[in-house]
Amino acid sequence: LMALRKKYGHSKPLKGAKIDGCLHMTNQTAVLIESLLFLGAEVQWSSCNIFSTQDQAAAAITKRGVPVFDWKAE
C-alpha cells in the first residue's frame, strides 16, 4: 500500500470514486482506508464482524472524516 501511495499519490487516480467497504475494522484496515483516501477516493466503512473491531482504529479513521459504522459489540 505504501508503494502504491508513493507511485500514484500525486495523480489521485481514485478521485471521484466512492468506496463503501465492509471488512474487519483493524489497524491494518485503517491503513487500507487511509491509502484509498490518499489516492483520492471518498470512503465509508462498516465492519463485517463487530467482535473483531479495534475501536482505536475506527476512532482514528473517523477523525479523518470517514463515516465508520462499526464499534466493538455495537
Per-residue tens of pLDDT for the chain, all 74 residues: 999 999 999 999 999 999 999 999 999 999 999 999 999 999 999 988 878 899 999 999 999 999 998 777 66
Tell me the C-alpha to C-alpha distance, in Å, between residue 60 and each of 8, 25, 63, 64.
23, 11, 5, 7
Q: Render 46-57 in DSSP notation, one character per residue.
A: E-S-TTT--HHH
Give the strand pairing for 42-46 and 18-22: parallel
